[in-house]
């Protein structure tokens, strides 16, 4: 399969279906809209998460109405607004800015949940890692959120830092003898944004088994998407450029349970300080 998906020069500039990706759950698109442009959709048997990358919009639906007035100018100038819509939601989204940029995913849902707009102020932020592997998580749809399967977070990796490291995987469902979930089987998309067109990140996807092995390295640029079908998947931001990526995941559990590559487990105990450049974005930036 093709792991690196380049953007298209059209309004729906990324589109990835579960069928085309060769997996079961996760579907993904990004969409650019002009002022007063509308998008009507019915979620049907799916749940959906819409992440505001830049701009403002309002939504009218059979499950409620919402309006965003302090959307960020771009992903490096604030925190996302995130709209969760359950199955059987008919909605119309109207752009209320000169340019609206959104990313959204959907997957089959097992149950009905309440719709919810999560504001930047309500979004948990975590500074994780240490040294030159420090990064910022904004947990948009964290484990434990009221939905069937989707997990979503946006990650900021400062110039020259490593992210998704020590490398981890979540490609099989593992439950221990006490019945606790140790690893979930999750499909995942990395969607990248950068401040300059020449910026990039390096992502590796690899397995450690000799059978059905995978070892790929890609250079991700602005608006690229990287599919993670299985295996470990670390990221390194090119020196001189901060890296943003948006993660959408769906699979066996609404969870981020994973297994660290045992070769690098020791690194967790080696960190002595956090990168002082973080956080790169805060909710206060949305109102500037």
Q: How many CB atoms lie within 10 A of CB 40?
A: 11
At 2, the pLDDT band (50, 70, 90 cuts) reads confident
Q: How far apart are CA 149 and CA 117, in angstroms?
A: 17
Distance CA 254, CA 107 (A): 12
pLDDT number for residue 212: 67
* Pairing state between β 4-5 and 82-85: unpaired
| pLDDT value at 111 more than 70 | yes
> What are the structural domain ranges in the chain?
7-274
Is the distance from CB of 96 to CB of 136 less than 8 angstroms?
Answer: no
State the Cα–Cα distance between residues 103 and 97, nearest whole angstrom: 16
Could you tell me which residue, 213 or 142, shows the higher pLDDT? 142
Q: Are 78 and 57 in contact (CB under 8 A)?
A: no
Give residue-wise pLDDT tens across range 169-217.
999 999 999 999 999 999 999 999 999 999 999 999 999 987 768 999 9
pLDDT of 246 above 80:
yes
Q: What top-level class would CATH report for the domain 7-274? A: mainly beta
Q: For residue 68, what are the CA distances in angstroms to 7, 81, 97, 100, 113?
A: 26, 8, 10, 11, 22
* Mean pLDDT for the stretch of residues 109-137: 97
Rg (CA), the chain: 18
CA distance 84 to 159: 31
Sheet with 235-237: list strands edge to edge.
162-163, 235-237, 201-206, 215-220
pLDDT for res 279 = 98
Q: What is the mean pLDDT of the chain?
A: 97
C-beta separation of 12 from 231 below 8 A: no
pTM of the model: 0.97
d(CA 52, CA 81): 5
Q: pLDDT > 70: what percent of the chain?
A: 99
With 0-12 / 13-18 / 19 or more C-beta atoms within 10 angstroms meaning exposed / middle / buried, residue 62 is exposed
CA distance 3 to 90: 32
């Amino acid at each position: 399969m093709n792991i690196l998906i380049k953007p298209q020069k059209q309004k729906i500039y990324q589109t990835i279906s579960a069928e085309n990706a060769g997996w079961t759950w996760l579907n993904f698109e990004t969409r650019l809209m002009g002022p007063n442009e509308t998008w009507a959709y019915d979620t049907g048997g799916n749940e959906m998460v819409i992440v505001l990358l830049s701009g403002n919009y309002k939504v009218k639906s059979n499950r409620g109405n919402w309006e965003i007035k302090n959307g960020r100018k771009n992903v490096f100038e604030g925190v996302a607004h995130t709209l969760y819509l359950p199955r059987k939601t008919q909605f119309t989204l109207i752009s209320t800015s000169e340019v609206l940029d959104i990313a959204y995913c959907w997957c089959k849902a097992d149950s009905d949940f309440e719709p919810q707009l999560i504001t930047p102020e309500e979004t948990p932020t975590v500074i994780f890692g240490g040294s030159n592997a420090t990064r910022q998580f904004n947990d948009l749809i964290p484990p434990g959120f009221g939905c069937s399967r989707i997990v979503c977070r946006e990650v900021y990796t400062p110039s020259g830092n490593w992210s998704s490291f020590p490398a981890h995987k979540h490609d099989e469902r593992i439950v221990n003898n006490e019945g606790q979930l140790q690893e979930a089987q999750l499909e995942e998309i990395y969607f990248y944004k950068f401040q300059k067109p020449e910026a990039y990140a390096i992502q590796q996807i690899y397995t450690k088994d000799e059978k059905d092995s995978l070892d790929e390295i890609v250079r991700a640029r602005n608006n690229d998407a990287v599919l993670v079908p299985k295996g470990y998947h670390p990221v390194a931001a090119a020196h001189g450029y901060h890296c943003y990526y948006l993660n959408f995941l769906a699979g066996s559990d609404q969870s981020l349970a994973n297994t660290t590559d045992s070769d690098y487990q020791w690194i967790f105990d080696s960190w002595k300080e956090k990168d002082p450049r973080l956080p790169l974005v805060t909710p206060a930036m949305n109102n500037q």
